Structures are given as C-alpha cells and as structure tokens.
Amino acid sequence: MEVARFCEKDVVTTPRHTRIRDAAALMRKYHVGSLVIVESDEKESALVGVVTDRDLVIEVLAQDVPIDSLAVGDIVQTPIETIDESADIWEAMECMAELGVRRLPVVDAEFYLRGIITLDDILEWFAESMDRMRTLVGNEIWQETRARR
C-alpha cells in the first residue's frame, strides 16, 4: 500500500521565521503535535524540517530559554527526512524506526510536500487490516460450517 493513500494531506506548515509562541499557538489551533517548517510563506516553498511539541518542551521550555527569543528555524533539526509518496507503508514504518521519529513529510518526485504520515496513521491502517483478517477468518469458518450442515 502506498503512503499517499494513508497520509494526512492537510499539513500545517509555517515558515522558519515563525516565533516559538506562534508555533505553539498553531499546534493548539489545528490540534496537531507537529509543524512542517518551510523556507518562506510562498506556495511550494522549500521544506526545512519538522518541529514537534516535544521539541518545544525539550529545546525551549526545559532549557529555560526565553520563549520570545527564538523562531522555529532556530530549533528545527536538519536535514529534513522525508518519504516519497509512492513508497510502501512498510517502508515508511522502517524509516521511522531507523530514524527514531513518529512522523515523516510525504513528498512527490519534485520534492513538493504532499502530506505527512505518522505512526498513528500506520497503527490505524494496521488495526483495520487486522480487523479485515479477523472478518475473513470468521467468514471462512461460518461458510465451512454452513456448507457441512
């Protein structure tokens, strides 16, 4: 299954000059745990990285850094790790495990942002797949039982 089928297409992005306080407000407003950081406000702007709510806590709050003194570009980790939209969902999971991340921006062949896939997306797909297999096995047993009556 291709990543493009399961990724979230409505990605919350913000330019690297966005202040930390404003980034936290965006996360709250859109109920997300991460922002994809882009170079500028321009459409199809170059990807810079991902900043998570955990980054805000560990890199800013826990360091007792004045929150208004930093922009997301100051704490974003580069280079950005992405996955191609045509990649298999298992490849995305392996990539996340290898990198120790819970989310990956999904890009097309020209490196334009097309979505974001998260560990939660993969877990949801896996749970649905397991449920379908349970139904398959149950139906198989039911059909066999019915045929032998």
Sheet holding 113-118, edge to edge: 83-84, 103-107, 113-118
pTM, two decimals, is 0.81
Q: 34-38 and 13-15 as β-strands: parallel, antiparallel, unpaired?
A: parallel
The per-residue pLDDT for range 116-146, each reduced to its tens digit, is 999 999 998 888 878 888 887 777 777 777 7
The Cα–Cα gap between 68 and 100 comes to 29
Length of the chain as a residue count? 149
Is pLDDT at 35 greater than 80 in this prediction? Answer: yes
Q: How far is Cα 46 from Cα 48, in angstroms, rounded to an integer?
A: 6
For residue range 82-125, list pLDDT tens digits in order: 999 999 999 999 999 999 999 999 999 988 899 999 999 999 88
CA 102, 108, 112, 115 torsion: positive or negative? Answer: negative
C-alpha–C-alpha distance, residues 55 and 66, integer Å = 15
Tell me the domains of the chain and their CATH numbers: 3-119 (3.10.580.10)
Mean pLDDT of 51-65: 92
